[in-house]
Amino acid sequence: MELRKSYFADQRKDDLHEIGQPRPRSDSPGHVTGKTAYFADRNFPGMLHLKMVRSPHHHARIRSIDISEAEKHPGVVKILTAKDVPHNVYTILILIQIGPEDETVLADGKVRWKGEAVVAVLAETERAAQEAAAKVKVDYEVLPAVFDMEEALKPGAPTVNEYHGRNYYLYDSGECRKVRFGDVEAGFAGADHVLEQTYQSSPIEHAPTETTGCIVVPEGNDRFTCYTNTQAMFFTLDNASIILQMPGNKLHFVGGTVGGGFGGKVDVIVEPIAILGAKLTGRPVSFIYSREEEMQISSPRAAEKVVIKDGVMNDGRIVARKVTGYTDAGAYSRHSPYGAQKGAGHYPGPYTIPNVWIDTYCVYTNRTPSSAMRGFGVTIGDFALEVQMDKLARLIGMDPLEFRFINAYRDGDMKAHRQPTEGAALIECMQEASRAANWPVAEKYLSMSSYAKGV
């Protein structure tokens, strides 16, 4: 890695003692010698293991659940169903007033994705829990499922989630988050070329080294200690408190070093049910995802579809950009309404465009609920935007890097969401990339600056 100190030198004082110094990480010797303690390194006498009975169907009504055989399985201590969960229907962003509550801790009457938790089995060993889970009999009536976002948005599509009553999230702005700036249709009408393209992604996995999990210990003082690898301690504690209808002062969350998160550990999934298990049995409970659960059950990055329509002039100026973004939330909201909205604030990318129209939709389908992941709401948008930029440059016969200089935002430029640009540095990154990659651009681009004109 190289630090290029020549850029923005006038905005920086290099007079610090500790900041800017490549100090060795105090925790890395522990990581590389195996001495760092993770939550699962603990073992408590009498600890039970929790395993989930999961839906084999994408969408089905639950006619009945029979746990009688499973209960008789050697080593089984307790079996939990929806009726055991005090506040079974929840949504995590309710803490920042983004509802409605739309997801069940344990399925109640219906499953909406293949893999959904239906029954929790607590047993003396992992093996006993797994074997007993296989003996739980659930009678399902399979329902039509919808997997494609376009299909889901059509009239007459199966309703994925009755708590929404429609297959998209309803924002205060309506069926999507909207940004309106200038007159996009006038921009297209006056453009030399108009290009509309569609981009698509598939869900991906966070792939942390350490899978999601927690261990809960009932303490002598009527409190519960939850050792967890959540990325957000109080967010998880407060949601657990709501789900369990248990005052927050009864809960003590202890984290530590986490073996990778990437956004995969901001859902509140394992902790509430494990705390409930510890409460109802009076014993420590361990609930740790297998690798298979981490990959197919825990939330992936959402699949997205992005439609971009641009008006561009032969001299390289983009005069209008319309973006329609669709985020596949799967069966439940989790963080997806936030992610789709974040996309609306991100488009049209780091470019100054006078006419912009943005709609971003959060769509429900019968698949594993998606949620946050590194680059949430932006990564797929950037893929779409930057491939589109390449296509536009080639359409007008311009060098792709020079084309970006022409449109790059600078300090003071008004963004589509009506904030003036501050602290821009795109131009300088491109100047340095031109040099580092030996990608020549005209001199006038190398003398540009992100600073406001005339400053």
* Contact status: 318 vs another protein (CB under 8 A): no
* Contact status: 252 vs another protein (CB under 8 A): yes
Q: How many CB atoms lie within 10 A of CB 150?
A: 11
* Contact status: 170 vs another protein (CB under 8 A): no
* Contact status: 32 vs another protein (CB under 8 A): no
- Give the footprint of another protein on residues 334-353 (CB under 8 A): 338, 341-342, 344-346, 349-350
Site string for another protein, 209-248 (x = CB under 8 A): ---------------------xxxxxx-x-----------
Of 56, 58, 55, whose CA–CA distance to 144 is shortest?
58
Closest approach of Cβ 70 to another protein, in Å? 24
Of 203, 200, 178, 150, whose CA–CA distance to 363 is shortest?
150
Binding-site size, another protein (CB under 8 A): 127
Closest approach of Cβ 345 to another protein, in Å? 3
Classify residue 397 as left (phi > 0), alpha (psi -120 to 50) or beta.
left
Strands 137-142 and 251-254 come out as: unpaired
| Amino acid letter, 425 | A
Among 61, 142, 190, 202, binds another protein (CB under 8 A): 202
**What are the residues whose beta carbons fall under 8 Å from the beta carbon of 339, sequence distance 6 or more?**
302, 327, 362, 371, 372, 376, 377
Query: Which H or E run includes 386?
Result: helix 379-395
Nearer to another protein, 56 or 86 (CB): 56
* Contact status: 404 vs another protein (CB under 8 A): yes
- Give the footprint of another protein on residues 67-106 (CB under 8 A): 96
Among 41, 419, 440, 442, binds another protein (CB under 8 A): 419
Alpha carbon distances (Å) from 158 to 104, 230, 443:
19, 34, 58
Closest approach of Cβ 425 to another protein, in Å? 4
- Give the footprint of another protein on residues 116-155 (CB under 8 A): 147-149
* Contact status: 375 vs another protein (CB under 8 A): yes
Among 94, 143, 204, 398, binds another protein (CB under 8 A): 204
Q: Report H helices in 136-254.
A: 149-153, 184-190, 233-244
* Contact status: 182 vs another protein (CB under 8 A): no
| Amino acid letter, 441 | V
